[in-house]
Amino acid sequence: MSSPDGAPHVVIRSVSKRYGPLTVLDRVDLTVARGELVTLLGPSGCGKTTLLRLVAGLATPEEGAIAIAGRDVTRVPPHRRNVGVVFQSYALFPHLTVAGNVAFGLAVRGRPREEIDRAVARTLSLVRLEHLGSRRVSALSGGQQQRVALARALAVEPEVLLFDEALSALDRNLREDMQVELRRLLREIGATAIFVTHDQDEALTMSDRIAVMNGGRIEQLADPKTLYARPATLFTLGFVGQSTRVRGTVAAAADGVVTVDTPVGRLSAMGHFAAGSPVVVAARPEHLNVVADAAGHDGGDRARNRVDGRVRAVIFQGSRSRIEVEAGGETLLAELPGRGAADLRPGDDARLVWPVAETFVYPDPEARP
């Protein structure tokens, strides 16, 4: 097992890419350490695939520079970069066998036959397909094709592995298995990898760090836990994990805590805003506790937010239940584990209680300045 050693391996500096009038990437900076697994996460059109193609050399930036392993490759064509790409639909060569696909990169490098055979055998066993070398790729299942695509990229011992939505074509169970297996494999061989995905679960499972992208920029770059616990922007909050939110106006601010007037009452959150600022207050549903008895005993606790309302719906989801609580014309979402919501019924009075420390506040993007 190896883990990132901190040495910068892929350095993307102030890179911009335009297609006609459309700016797809806007001065993006990103450094990936050797052995690190970084995910570019975002909705379609956010520029994540374009950024990956720039690193692969399949596109050239208008501005900025890209270096791989200390070498400036900004203008280097893809075939001289030594990168390994696993494409969304795998892009396996249909006219070659499994072994032929895996051997391709070494064959075009003119390596001797014995070396190629050894490398093919080694990489195929790495992805546990050693018995399928002579098969045609069209005869393989989706999961097997995915492994061949990975083996083909690994065989050339690339400086960096690039995955473009590589798991999205697999069905859910297989995808989850592959996430875990792929992460273990990449760790084992100490690979540096950049994943592109719109799947937040995949990003959280696979990555050392996640770059959340939106509109051609990186909104937040952080490790999965920080990203989830402290989303820096409303976009990140919305894209990673569930959230419940309500708009309001800052009433007072002191010591890094703002008090916000909202339709559901006065809420406190960690943040710095001037009084009068239009904001959105948000929290993760799993932090909201539902107290059936509104005449609570924690009335004076300033470290908690409280909202009194009425249960609108209880949605049983197996390992957890979602409870929709209506208050002041807004609907807040709470999530309780297991059978915690067993005695709640729609129409019941309920009090929502959650820590101020787990309450986020962001500028209201829809408010007029």
Contacts with another protein by CB under 8 A lie at 56-58, 77-85, 87, 89, 91-97, 100, 104-105, 107-109, 152-153, 156, 162
CA 308 to chain centre: 34
Residue type, 26: D
Residue 38 Cβ vs another protein, minimum distance, rounded to whole Å = 18
SS (H, E, C) the chain: CCCCCCCEEEEEEEEEEEECCEEEEEEEEEEEECCCEEEEECCCCCCHHHHHHHHHCCCCCCEEEEEECCEECCCCCHHHCCEEEECCCCCCCCCCEHHHHHHHHHHHCCCCHHHHHHHHHHHHHHCCCHHHCCCEHHHCCHHHHHHHHHHHHHHCCCCEEEEECCCCCCCHHHHHHHHHHHHHHHHHCCCCEEEEECCHHHHHHHCCEEEEEECCEEEEEECHHHHHHCCCCHHHHHHCCCCEEEEEEEEEEECCEEEEEECCEEEEEECCCCCCCEEEEEECHHHCEEECCCCCCCCCCCCEEEEEEEEEEEEECCCEEEEEEEECCEEEEEEEECCCCCCCCCCCEEEEEEEHHHEEEEECCCCCC
Residue 36 Cβ vs another protein, minimum distance, rounded to whole Å = 20
Q: Which residues contact 45 (CB under 8 A, 6 or more apart)?
A: none
Q: In terms of CB distance, is 55 or 210 closer to another protein?
A: 55
Instruction: State both tokens at 168.
Output: 């999205």
Residue 94 Cβ vs another protein, minimum distance, rounded to whole Å = 7
Q: In terms of CB distance, is 78 or 241 closer to another protein?
A: 78
Q: In terms of CB distance, is 51 or 237 closer to another protein?
A: 51
Q: In terms of CB distance, is 39 or 49 closer to another protein?
A: 49
Residue 147 Cβ vs another protein, minimum distance, rounded to whole Å = 15
Q: In terms of CB distance, is 85 or 260 closer to another protein?
A: 85
Count of all residues that appear for the chain in the document: 369
Integer Cα distance of 358 and 10 in angstroms: 34
Answer for the pair 256, 356: CB distance below 8 angstroms, yes or no: no
Residue 81 Cβ vs another protein, minimum distance, rounded to whole Å = 8
Q: In terms of CB distance, is 180 or 189 closer to another protein?
A: 189
Residue 31 Cβ vs another protein, minimum distance, rounded to whole Å = 22
Residue 220 Cβ vs another protein, minimum distance, rounded to whole Å = 29
Q: In terms of CB distance, is 71 or 79 closer to another protein?
A: 79
Residue 22 Cβ vs another protein, minimum distance, rounded to whole Å = 18
Residue 32 Cβ vs another protein, minimum distance, rounded to whole Å = 17
Q: In terms of CB distance, is 77 or 338 closer to another protein?
A: 77
Residue type, 263: P
Q: In terms of CB distance, is 91 or 291 closer to another protein?
A: 91
